[in-house]
Amino acid sequence: MALDKKELAELNFSFTRLAAADKPVLIYGTGNGCEKLFFVFERFGIRPAGIFASDDFKRERSFHGFDVLSLSEAEERYGDFYAVLAFGTSLPDVMERIEGIAKRHTLIAPELSVADDSFFEKAVFLDDYKSVEKAYSLLCDDKSREVFEDLCRFKITGDISYLKKTFTAPSKSCTDIINPTADEIVCDLGAYTGDTVDELLSHTGGKYRHIYCFEPDMRNFRRLVRSHLTLDNTDFINAAAWDSDTQLFFSASSGRQSAVSDKGRIVSGRSLDSYLDGREVTYIKYDVEGADVQALLGSKKTIEKYSPKICTAAYHRPYDFYRLILLLDTLRPGSRIYLRQYPYYPSWETNVFAV
């Protein structure tokens, strides 16, 4: 298989297409995603006609000077239009609703950064194509290469039909790639409230050697500790995974988007190398909301010494899906590298594995 640069170059870029739209452009959803879209729209000269929400989520409110319409109100007022997705979801019923809108209208899900205000740009991607090809060449199975190709197509076009083809259940990736055993020593960086730990234990019958959970958000940390107090041989570390031991500003949302920021409360940043101080680890999971590079670099000595199995989120920034593959190849040379996409609109659950 080979990645076809010519084919990708000929695909219509989502924001360019919206700038030349021959129908009204309506934003689907409000909140932070909508704020980011207004910023990018201004850059491309895109003038949205309005904002809408699903009929059962409609409230009497306005956003950015627009009355928020229900879907049925938007259809009555505008007929056909471009619907631009401004939020993310993994909820099956909401994903079905999005797919239903895509059948009636042209739906575009632009690739916006989860971690900051950047966004995927086709020109930047094509300019960096040697790195893209290098990352693609490191993938070890056909499924990974297929996911990579369709993620490229999705990120350029915003067409969810490409994204839907990539979906794999998280449990299947855990079983087929990580293959956890009762002998694991696990470092969960970005433990949230313990969902990864719970999934791992479900595969091992509750058996393991040791677990280290890093979680900087205090409310999430309390929930993590409270719900896992009965676990033996478990360390709970209220700190952000980083490349050194330091103090960091942290924007806490008490959800999955809590992240290191340029403002907020001060939290401890810890490198995994420093915390473990030479102790063994067999599996590391990274889901650190945009600090993925720093957290990986802060594990460099541990990875070199023990060659643990690794799973890292690769969706917080638009080009993570290939740049983190290259970093993992540097940190853990000779690894078998896999790419998987879990069900989510847009592509907010892309994961890279090195084993």
The CATH number given to whatever domain includes residue 69 is 3.40.50.720
306: three-class secondary structure by DSSP: helix
Evaluate whether residue 13 is within a structural domain. yes
Residue 76 lies in a domain: yes
Inter-residue contact 188 to 241 (CB < 8 Å): no
Residue 128 falls within a domain, yes or no? no
What is the per-residue pLDDT for 256? 45
From the centroid of its chain, how far is CA 281? 24
Q: Do 100 and 184 have their domain in common?
A: no
Phi, psi of 268 (to 5 degrees): -80, 135
- The rounded distance, in Å, linking the Cα atoms of 103 and 355 is 39
**Structural domains in the chain (count):** 2
Cβ neighbours for 93, distance < 8 A, ≥ 6 positions apart: none
How many angstroms separate the CA atoms of 215 and 234, rounded? 13
- The Cα 254–Cα 59 span in angstroms is 24
Closest CA to 138 of 300, 299, 308, 334: 334
Out of 110, 129, 152, a domain closes at 110
Give the torsion sign (CA, 146, 316, 258, 48): negative
Whether residues 98 and 190 fall in one domain: no
Strands 283-286 and 337-341, sheet pairing: unpaired
Residue 342 belongs to a domain: no
Q: Both tokens of residue 125?
A: 């991607």
Strand 66-70 and strand 50-53: the pairing is parallel
226: left (phi over 0), alpha (psi -120 to 50) or beta: alpha
Q: In terms of DSSP H, where are the helices of the chain?
A: 5-10, 14-19, 32-44, 71-78, 92-104, 122-127, 129-138, 142-157, 160-164, 170-173, 195-204, 218-227, 272-276, 292-297, 300-306, 320-331
Give the residue numbers spanning the domain of 250.
Answer: 180-313
Residue 55 domain-assigned?
yes
Question: What residues have CB less than 8 Å from 73, skipping those under 6 apart?
Answer: 52, 58
- CATH number of the domain at 192, please: 3.40.50.150
> Which domain-ending residue is among 110, 132, 149?
110
Q: Which amino acid is at 204?
A: T
Q: How far apart are CA 26 and CA 327, in angstroms?
A: 38
pLDDT in tens, 80-92: 999 999 999 999 9
Give the pLDDT score at 276. 98
Rounded to whole angstroms, the Cα distance separating 318 from 153 reads 13
Tell me whether the omega of the peptide bond preceding residue 346 falls within 30 degrees of 0, making it cis.
Answer: yes
In a domain, 322, yes or no: no
Q: What is the pLDDT of residues 94-111, one digit of tens each?
A: 999 999 999 999 999 999
Q: Which residue reads 């960091």 in tokens?
A: 248
**Which amino acid does the sequence have at 59?**
R
Same domain membership, residue 88 and residue 189? no
Among residues 52, 79, 110, which one ends one of the domains?
A: 110
Residue 333 forms part of a structural domain: no
pTM above 0.85, yes or no: yes
Rounded CA separation 355/351 (Å): 13
320 domain residue, yes or no: no
Instruction: For the chain, list residues with pLDDT below 70.
Output: 1, 58-60, 250-264
**Predicted local confidence at residue 254, as pLDDT:** 46
